[in-house]
């Protein structure tokens, strides 16, 4: 049967050969290249694809499909559907139903949950929703506004419209002030294009191009988009990950590992030293971790009363709490912090002060450098553990 004959026969039987965007040009017809009868009529029946036959022309295959119960049922359903709405009609209908057509800057249509499909010329606008954690298609429409109306009628669209409006974005100055008010730190990063840790720039988002993300459970988690990098950094600073990073940065650094030379010197010193009680040996090993004494060419004279032994002895004569002001000064010299000895003596600082001192106390006593305070506090911890 030729194409013209198939069209006349369909008209005689009162059937409609429905046009389609597929390769064959007709609904229910598949084009199989390279075959003598390349056009196949096909329906879905009982959940499975059923082949009705192969034909030389697309029109004859469409006629076969049009005679099937499935095609006639679709034709009846299509006839019962209202005609597509124009953009103006969809907007008016939404207003009549008290619905809101939600807009979106990230959508290529300008409307939330509405996307444009170029491969569907008759109804290129698709309405989408996310349901049960998975995307769901709500249908295809001739205009973006009608698709947006379909989404607005869905439970997801109504919930989105009822949600409270988003707060206005913070300026850079407002975000910095808010972080200070909350006692938060906006963590900077040299490797980030925005200058802030956890914040990246997305050029596709015009009004809110700064994205905040964290690595959580081995996956990247997006926390939101913001108008300024400072507001995005504020969002990151509020996360548990950022708070943990701040605490880790404030912790005292780990003591450097002992080099092979230091280990050799300590071993030689232990072999040359006379036998000592276990308690004395334990104190000496703990203090040896805090200093790197140079090997003495000859035995040093006995220390004067009230003064710590020379650094090569690597041993406190009394518990830390019982050190005098002068002995505290000697301890500072042995730890390479002798420039603070005069300030500590003027304060004055003795052993009883050291066992209860924190970083703020050391700064008040004259130890201005934060790294020096951390080093000294770490040494005090080792010394208190030795006695």
Does 272 reside within a domain? yes
pLDDT of 288 over the 50 cut: no
Does 299 reside within a domain? no
- The CA–CA distances, whole Å, from 37 to 21, 52, 64, 66, 187 equal 20, 13, 14, 18, 68
pLDDT at residue 107 in the model: 81
In this prediction, what percent of the chain has a pLDDT beyond 90? 45
Distance CA 315, CA 318 (A): 9
Based on the fold, state whether residues 350 and 279 are members of the same structural domain.
Answer: yes
Distance CA 199, CA 192 (A): 7
The DSSP H or E segment spanning 164 is: none
Does 300 reside within a domain? no
Q: Which of 88-92, 121-125, 338-342 has the lowest mean pLDDT?
A: 121-125
Based on the fold, state whether residues 102 and 141 are members of the same structural domain.
Answer: yes
pLDDT of 291 over the 60 cut: no
Based on the fold, state whether residues 223 and 177 are members of the same structural domain.
Answer: yes
Based on the fold, state whether residues 94 and 145 are members of the same structural domain.
Answer: yes
Based on the fold, state whether residues 201 and 282 are members of the same structural domain.
Answer: no
pLDDT at residue 131 in the model: 87
Q: At which of 111, 140, 162 does a domain end?
A: 162
Question: How many residues are there in the chain?
Answer: 387
Kindly state the average pLDDT of the residues 152-172: 88
Based on the fold, state whether residues 268 and 381 are members of the same structural domain.
Answer: yes
Based on the fold, state whether residues 219 and 114 are members of the same structural domain.
Answer: no
Q: At which of 162, 195, 216 does a domain end?
A: 162
Based on the fold, state whether residues 143 and 202 are members of the same structural domain.
Answer: no
Domain containing 52 equals 3-80
The DSSP H or E segment spanning 253 is: none
Task: Tell me if 229 sits within 8 A of 209, measured CB to CB.
Answer: no
What does the block give as tokens for 251? 């912790």
Based on the fold, state whether residues 115 and 230 are members of the same structural domain.
Answer: no
179-182: long-range pairs with CB below 8 Å, 24+? 179/230, 179/233, 179/234, 179/237, 182/238
pLDDT of 73 over the 70 cut: yes
Kindly state the average pLDDT of the residues 249-261: 64
Kindly state the average pLDDT of the residues 216-234: 91
Kindly state the average pLDDT of the residues 61-89: 88
Does 255 reside within a domain? no
**Residue 283 — very low, low, confident or very high, per pLDDT cuts 50/70/90?**
very low
Q: Which of 9-23, 182-196, 243-257, 319-333 has the lowest mean pLDDT?
A: 243-257
What is the domain count for the chain?
4
Based on the fold, state whether residues 266 and 376 are members of the same structural domain.
Answer: yes
Does 64 reside within a domain? yes
> 87-96 vs 144-153: helix axis angle to the nearest 10?
20
How do residues 344-383 score in pLDDT, each as one tens digit? Answer: 988 888 888 888 899 988 998 889 999 999 999 998 888 8
pLDDT of 194 over the 90 cut: yes
How do residues 328-349 score in pLDDT, each as one tens digit? Answer: 888 888 888 989 988 898 888 8
Based on the fold, state whether residues 265 and 330 are members of the same structural domain.
Answer: yes
pLDDT at residue 259 in the model: 54
Does 283 reside within a domain? yes
User: Is 0.85 surpassed by the pTM of this model?
Assistant: no
Task: Kindly report the average pLDDT of the chain as a whole number.
Answer: 83
The C-alpha torsion from 326 through 331 and 337 to 341, rounded to 10°, is: -10
- The CA–CA distances, whole Å, from 317 to 69, 305, 387 equal 104, 11, 10
The DSSP H or E segment spanning 139 is: strand 134-141
Does 185 reside within a domain? yes
Based on the fold, state whether residues 267 and 377 are members of the same structural domain.
Answer: yes
**CATH assignment of the domain containing 315:** 1.10.150
Cα 261 to chain centroid, rounded: 44
Does 342 reside within a domain? yes
Task: Tell me if 40 sits within 8 A of 62, measured CB to CB.
Answer: no
Please tell me whether residue 64 adopts helix, strand or coil conformation.
helix
Q: What number of other Cβ atoms are within 10 A of residue 122's Cβ?
A: 11
Kindly state the average pLDDT of the residues 194-214: 90
Task: Tell me if 97 sits within 8 A of 107, measured CB to CB.
Answer: no
pLDDT of 253 over the 60 cut: yes
Kindly state the average pLDDT of the residues 32-51: 91
pLDDT at residue 373 in the model: 93
How do residues 108-122 score in pLDDT, each as one tens digit? Answer: 898 999 999 887 777
pLDDT at residue 333 in the model: 87
pLDDT at residue 292 in the model: 43
How do residues 235-247 score in pLDDT, each as one tens digit? Answer: 999 999 999 888 8
């Amino acid at each position: 049967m030729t194409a013209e004959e198939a069209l006349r026969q369909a008209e005689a039987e009162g059937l409609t050969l429905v046009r389609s965007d597929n390769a064959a040009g007709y609904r229910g017809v598949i084009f199989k290249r390279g075959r003598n009868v390349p056009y196949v009529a096909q329906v879905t029946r009982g959940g499975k694809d059923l082949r009705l036959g192969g034909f030389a022309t697309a029109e004859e295959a469409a006629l076969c499909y049009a005679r099937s119960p499935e095609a006639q049922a679709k034709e009846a359903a299509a006839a019962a559907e209202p005609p597509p709405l124009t953009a103006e009609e969809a907007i008016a209908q939404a207003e009549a139903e008290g619905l809101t057509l939600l807009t979106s800057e990230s959508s290529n249509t300008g409307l939330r949950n509405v996307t444009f499909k170029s491969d569907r010329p008759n109804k290129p606008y698709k309405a989408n929703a996310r349901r049960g954690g998975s995307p769901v298609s709500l249908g295809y429409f001739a205009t973006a506004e009608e698709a947006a109306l379909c989404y607005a009628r869905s439970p997801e669209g109504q919930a989105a419209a009822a949600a409270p409006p988003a707060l206005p974005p913070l300026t850079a100055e407002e975000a910095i002030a808010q972080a200070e008010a909350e006692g938060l730190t906006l963590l900077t990063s040299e490797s980030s294009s925005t200058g802030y840790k956890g914040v990246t720039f997305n050029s596709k988002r015009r009004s809110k191009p700064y994205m905040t993300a964290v690595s959580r459970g081995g996956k990247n988690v997006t926390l939101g988009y913001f108008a300024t990098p400072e507001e995005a950094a504020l969002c990151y600073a509020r996360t548990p990950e950022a708070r943990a990073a701040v605490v880790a940065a404030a912790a005292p650094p780990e003591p450097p590992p002992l080099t092979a030379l230091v280990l050799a010197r300590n071993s030689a010193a232990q072999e040359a030293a006379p036998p000592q009680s276990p308690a004395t040996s334990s104190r000496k090993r703990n203090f040896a971790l805090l200093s790197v004494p140079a090997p003495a060419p000859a035995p040093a004279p006995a220390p004067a009363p009230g003064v710590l032994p020379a650094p090569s002895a690597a041993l406190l004569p009394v518990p830390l709490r019982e050190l005098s002001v002068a002995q505290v000064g000697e301890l500072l010299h042995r730890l390479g912090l002798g420039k603070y000895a005069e300030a500590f003596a003027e304060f004055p600082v003795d052993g009883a002060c050291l066992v209860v001192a924190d970083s703020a106390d050391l700064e008040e006593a004259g130890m201005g450098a934060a790294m020096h305070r951390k080093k000294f506090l770490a040494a005090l911890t080792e010394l208190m553990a030795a006695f």
